[in-house]
Amino acid sequence: MRWINIDPIQAVDALLLTGEGAADRLETALSQKPSFARTLPRAQGEGWAAVFARTLPGEREAMIPSIGGALPLYEAERGWYFPVGLQLDAPADMVPELLQYLAEEADLRPPAILAPRDDGRIDAYPVRLFHPSEQAAGAMAG
């Protein structure tokens, strides 16, 4: 798959941190933000962590804090997140088919994050959201 640069005007729907300690760095960053940030949905795996925007009561726009060093993402297709300023180099009507092919070949289902590497390969991150407020409530009940 090839990517092309586009104007980075997409709304930021998620932030991705990668590398060793990504989950800890994300938690530390969110702990220093307003309280709403600690309730945002997250996903993580080995060597990566992401936080996703959500709409707060009384707001029209989804909210997400800025986190230094995080890669901003937008939801390019339902459940597929790409880096802001990039899109697949394909006609818009072909993108869903390309993503379906990728999903089948890589045994990857949305939601998922796709991010190109400098060597032309793609990093794919399968997203399994968890909501910190739900985990905290479960821990208190158990």
pLDDT tens, the chain, 142 aa long: 789 999 988 999 999 999 999 999 999 999 999 988 989 999 999 999 999 999 888 888 889 999 999 999 999 999 999 999 999 999 999 999 999 998 898 889 899 999 998 888 889 999 998 888 654 433 333 4
Vertex 11: Cα angle to 58 and 68 (nearest 5): 100
CA distance 6 to 109: 25
CA distance 1 to 112: 16
CA distance 91 to 20: 36
pTM of the predicted model, to two decimals?
0.88
